[in-house]
Amino acid sequence: MTYCVAIKLNAGLVFLSDSRTNAGLDQISTFRKMIVYEKPDDRFMVLLSAGNLSISQSIREILQVEQLKEHEDSEPITIWNAKSMFDAARVLGAAVRHVYERDAASLRQAGVEFNASMIFGGQIKGEGMRLFQVYSAGNFIEATHETQYFQIGESKYGKPVLDRVISPDTPLDEAAKCALVSMDSTLKSNLSVGLPLDLVVYEADKFQTDKVVCMDENNPYFRMLHSSWGKKLREVFDSIEDPMWNGEATDVPLMVESSRGKPLRKITTPNERLI
């Protein structure tokens, strides 16, 4: 399994992925889930993938040469000449369907589900930044002002901190920190997600970035974040009052009247026979 997250902000984009893949407890390997497509001063795109590794690797390879034709006499559209990120996402969808048409039947006969999900985002000169989540059918949805991020893979563990922190105005460095905390929470709770991590931070309208880093267990910042986040969570938890059950004086009583009433209760007497 894996965990990938991408965040779209007013200031730019943040992409983060782990690199663990497994086919059982004795077949755990490391493969990159992120690939950057960059043409300085023209376009910058990042693809994150989750699901069956053989499928996602095939899609990544085909994407670099996949073409879409609107009409017989029109110029083929590729990710390298697409005029918009929407068209580039359409090319990715076509690559997904290409692999499905080629491999899905054989995979099904072998008892393997066609399982691939992707996040694709970036910026092409002439338009703003865009971020898409692409499904195994090749269809996709786009991030909006109300939805600043997408997750694929083991998403549930890292979602709460994203919901509480991320907004359109969040600074890029703060969003990168939030993404790393989200990843750390996932690493803590799920063994199918693992180091090293790949992180890319892209500033709007730059069409290139030098903020690309691979983090392993020896990365000083990630070690600090892992230790600090656990410690701070414990401190916040300890600062919250324990519930009071016996009527002790408190400003935040637990046992108060509720409009819902009390739970159903069955209390037996010593002589009552239970059936």
pLDDT at site 136: 96
What pLDDT band is residue 23 in, cutting at 50, 70 and 90?
very low
- In sequence order, the β-bridge partners of residue 200 are 15, 212
pLDDT in tens, 31-78: 999 999 999 999 999 999 999 999 999 999 999 999 998 777 789 999
CATH code, 3-234 = 3.60.20.10
pLDDT at site 30: 85
pLDDT above 60 (res 240): yes
CB count within 10 Å of CB 164 equals 9
Query: What span, in angstroms and rounded, lies between the C-alpha atoms of 150 and 165?
Result: 14
Give the DSSP per-residue string, 47-96.
EEEEE-HHHHHHHHHHHTT--B-SSTTSPPB-TTT-SSHHHHHHHHHHHH
What pLDDT band is residue 10 in, cutting at 50, 70 and 90?
very high
Q: Where are the domains of the chain?
A: 3-234
Instruction: Give me the chain's average pLDDT, please.
Output: 92
Residues 17-26 have a mean pLDDT of: 73
Residues 6+ apart with CB under 8 A from 164: none
Q: pTM, whole model, 2 decimals?
A: 0.91
